Structure formats: C-alpha cells, structure tokens
Amino acid sequence: MKIGSIFWRMRNYGIIATFKYIYTEKINQSIFNNSESELISNLAELNNELFKINKKNVLDLESSSDKFFNEISENLIYLESKGLGIKNSVVGNSGSKTRLKVLAYVISNLDFDLIIESGTQHGISALFMERFVIAQNTKIYSIDIKNNVIPEGIGKINYVVLSSPVRKSFKTFTKELIKSNGRSLYFHDSDHSYENMSFEFNWAWNELKVDCLISDDVSENSAFSKFVLKNNLTPYYCKFDSGSVVGFVLK
C-alpha cells in the first residue's frame, strides 16, 4: 500500500484524521499568512532578532554549517552512485540549508535535554542536531515511518521507525519520551499536509509542552500561521535561499 494514500492514512492516522485531510488539503494549500517584510533572510538577521551573540560567532556558525552540509551532500551523492535511492532535491546546490542553519543556530545557543525530529528521510537535519548541540547529555530522537539511507554520525542519534498504526505509536512514543526529560525542542519535517502539520504542532506544543518548535515548509499551507495565531505566539519566519520558509516559536 502506497504511503500517503487515502487508505494508508485511514489505517495509520484514523478515519477522522483522514476526513480532515480530504476536507482541508485543497482549501488550505499554499495559503501562507505572512508579509515579505517578516521574512528573515540570513543568519545574521536572525541573530539581530533573537540571541544577539557575537557577530564573529555567527559567521563561524554559518561557515561551519555550509562546510558540514557539503560533507553530507558528498557522502549522499557517493551513496547514490552505488545504487542507493537518494532524494536529489535535498543535497548539493539544489538542497535548501535554511532549516539546517536555523537548527544549528538555535541548538548551539540553547541547552536542550531532549530533541525530537519527525521525518528523518536521509538524516541530514538529525546529523546537524548531533553536530551542533551544546550539551553532551542531550537526547536526540529522529522519527520516521520507514528506513532510509542515512550517513553515519557520531552515534548520538536514536533513529526510530514507527509501527502501524502510525499516529497511535507516534503519540505513545513521544509522550513517554517527554516524561523523563526537561527542556525540549520539536522539529517537524515529516508529512507536510495541512492535517498532519496542524496535528503535530498542536501535539508538540500543547500536549508535549515543548520549549521550542521548528518546522520546515511552513509556506506550503496555513497550518503554522494558524497555529501561532491560535496560541498567541511570536513566530520567526526564515528563508535563506530558494527553498521553502522555515518557521519557529520559543517559550
């Protein structure tokens, strides 16, 4: 059964979630409520809005992010040459680095006990978290619904493949994780449908009560803009290249 099909959603997300998906997907597609003036266009500009750390440190972070991304890209392109399936749009010159630089900036300046990522894919974001996290005892969990080709890191990432039904196992697993950990970050990069993004944002913020929520592809629909409005939050919207917009909120 194809992942993402209506029957797959019904089995793994439930009947109500599936009907919400059918009803909301078309009417909320590409509705992104923000003005161009709100978009933060580089890491230095984000720093002026947020932590205001030393400018040299920001330049160093930007440089090291670019270098690390190139290393991962070369590794994945090599694996592709060996016949392994790699999504070309995430590596090389076509790969957007906005989410990676936002993650690197936030987690290198805030001390998190727990980081949860939904949507591992090739592990690029997870490897960035592992590289730039400042606390040695930070626990990193990257969750997906299937195994993908992932380059080796330094062994701090816990890769988790959810069992079916996915929505139920996702709730159970993340709820258990949050019980025994303190300051937490949630990064959404999985199914970018309006229904799933709305569910994950609400679940992470209001049920798991995370301290920071970051999401890739918030310009795909109105899920994130409605989420911040409903919860009266101050959003940061970042777009550093030709890729999609990354949004995040902090407690």
Strand partners, 140: 115, 157
pLDDT of the residue at 2: 58
pLDDT of the residue at 22: 87
Backbone angles phi, psi at 37, to 5 degrees: -65, -20
Question: Residue type at 248?
Answer: F
Cβ(195)–Cβ(167) below 8 Å: no
| pLDDT value at 86 more than 80 | no
pLDDT of the residue at 207: 96
Per cent of the chain over pLDDT 70 is 92
pLDDT of the residue at 83: 73
Q: Each residue of 21-69: pLDDT tens digit?
A: 888 876 666 566 666 668 999 999 999 999 999 999 999 999 999 999 9
pLDDT of the residue at 162: 96
Can you identify the CATH homologous superfamily of domain 6-250? Vaccinia Virus protein VP39 (3.40.50.150)
Question: Residue type at 66?
Answer: D
Alpha-carbon separation of residue 119 from 116, 215, 242 (angstroms): 10, 11, 21
Domain ranges of the chain: 6-250
Dihedral (Cα; 87, 91, 95, 98), 10-degree rounding? 110
| pLDDT value at 229 more than 90 | yes
Name the helix (H) or strand (E) containing 174.
helix 166-179
Cβ(108)–Cβ(133) below 8 Å: yes
- How many residues appear in the chain? 251
Question: Residue type at 117?
Answer: E
Question: Residue type at 10?
Answer: M
Name the helix (H) or strand (E) containing 116.
strand 114-118
Q: Each residue of 203-223: pLDDT tens digit?
A: 999 999 999 999 999 998 999
| pLDDT value at 4 more than 90 | no
More confident residue, 70 or 79: 70
Rounded to the nearest angstrom, the gap between the alpha carbon of residue 81 and the centroid of all alpha carbons in its chain is 27
Q: How far apart are CA 156 and CA 134, in angstroms?
A: 12
Q: Answer yes or no: pTM beyond 0.75.
A: yes
pLDDT of the residue at 90: 79
Cβ(39)–Cβ(219) below 8 Å: no
Q: Each residue of 98-153: pLDDT tens digit?
A: 999 999 999 999 999 999 999 998 899 999 999 999 888 999 999 999 888 687 78
| pLDDT value at 1 more than 60 | no
Cβ(167)–Cβ(12) below 8 Å: yes
| pLDDT value at 176 more than 90 | yes
Cβ(157)–Cβ(123) below 8 Å: yes
